[in-house]
A = this chain, B = another copy of it.
Amino acid sequence: MTARRPTAIDIVEVGPRDGLQNDSRHLSTEAKVEMIAKLAGAGLRRIEAASFVNPKRVPQMADAEAVLARVVDLPGVSVSGLVLNGRGFERALAAGLREISFVAVATDTMAARNQGTTARGLVETWAGIAKRAEAEGLFRSVTIAVAFGCPFEGEVPLARVIEIARALAESGADEISLADTIGVATPLAVEERFAALSEAVPGLPMRAHFHNTRNTGYANADAALRSGVTVLDASLGGLGGCPFAPGATGNIATEDLVSMLERDRVATGVSLELLRDATLWLEGEMGRRLPAHGAHVSPWPRVLAA
C-alpha cells in the first residue's frame, strides 16, 4: 500500500529569493514587488521574498530591504527572508519580518566555501539566533542545505543529516526542511531521509525543497508528501538554478506542482489560472521562456467545445 498524501499542504513560494538570486537577469525592485503581489494574489500564503546576504556576493539581493518594506504587510501572507548568520537575523528583524528561514548545511566543505565556517559552526550560529527569534515571537523555519548530495563532498551520509537536524531542533524550530540544493535527490532517497527525520524529531512539521535539475523534482515532491512532509518549496515558472550546477534548471515550478497536487486531491489554496498569468508576465520580465510547462499547455481537464 502507498502512504496517503495529506489533504492539504502549504507551498512556500521561493521564486523571489531562490529564483532571482541565481539568475543573471536582475529584476528591478519594482518588478520584484509586482511579482510578489501577483503571487499573493494567486493565493500563496507563504513567500520567501529575499535573502540577507552580502550584496557584494549576491548583487541580485542588494535591494532586499527596499523590496521587503513594500511587501511585509501584505494581508494574509507570511513574508520571510533567508538568514545565514547573526547579521542577517538583525536585518530580518529590522525589516519587520515575522518569519525567518535559517540555512544550515550538511557538509563542512559547503559550509566553508559558502559561509566560511563548518556544519557544526552553523548549528551553533542557529542556537544563538533561535533564542532571539523565539523571544521576538518569530516563526522559525530551519533548512539543511545539500541534504541529498553536496557538489564538493558528493554523497552525504543520512546519519550526518539527522545529527544536524536533531541539534537544530534542540535549539528550537517551528519546522525543519531538507533541501536538495543541487537537484540530485530521487524518490527513494526522499522517502528514506524524511522517514528518518520524522523519527528523529517527532511532531516537528517537515518541509522539503527540490530542484528539477535531473527531472526528478516532481517525483521527489510526491515522495515527500507520502512521507509526512506538509510544506513544499516551489518557484513561479520554475525560475532559478544553482551557481554550482551550470545548465541546471531551477526549483520545481509552483504552477506544475499545484497542477499535479490539485489533481491528486491535495489542496493548495492557489489559483492555477492566476499563476499561469503571473508566469507569462514573468517570462516577459526575464526575457525568456521559463522551465515550467504549465503556462504553455492547455489546462486540464479542458473545457470541450460542443
Q: Which residues of A contact B (CB under 8 A)?
A: 1-3, 5, 149, 151-155, 183-184, 186-189, 191, 212-216, 218-219, 221-223, 226-227, 245, 247-249, 252-253, 256, 259-260, 263-265, 292-294, 296-298, 300-302, 304
With a cutoff of 8 Å between Cβ atoms, the chain B residues found around residue A219 in the complex are: 218-219, 221-222, 260
With a cutoff of 8 Å between Cβ atoms, the chain B residues found around residue A191 in the complex are: 2
With both chains docked as a complex, state the minimum distance between the C-beta of A149 and any C-beta of chain B, in angstroms.
Answer: 7
With a cutoff of 8 Å between Cβ atoms, the chain B residues found around residue A213 in the complex are: 293, 297
Specify how many copies of this chain sit in the oligomer.
Answer: 2
CB of B223 within 8 A of CB of A188, answer no
> With A2-B191, A216-B218, A247-B297 given, can you name 12 additional A-B contacts, CB distance below 8 Å?
A2-B3, A149-B301, A155-B301, A183-B297, A184-B300, A186-B263, A187-B264, A189-B263, A189-B264, A218-B218, A218-B219, A219-B221
With both chains docked as a complex, state the minimum distance between the C-beta of A292 and any C-beta of chain B, in angstroms.
Answer: 7
- Complex-state Cα separation, A19 to B284, whole angstroms: 31
With both chains docked as a complex, state the minimum distance between the C-beta of A211 and any C-beta of chain B, in angstroms.
Answer: 10
CB of A253 within 8 A of CB of B215, answer yes
With a cutoff of 8 Å between Cβ atoms, the chain B residues found around residue A2 in the complex are: 2-3, 191, 223, 226-227
Given the interface contacts A2-B226, A265-B188, does A214 sit within 8 Å of B294 by beta carbon? yes
Given the interface contacts A186-B264, A187-B264, A263-B189, does A218 sit within 8 Å of B221 by beta carbon? no
- Complex-state Cα separation, A2 to B213, whole angstroms: 25
- Complex-state Cα separation, A297 to B2, whole angstroms: 31
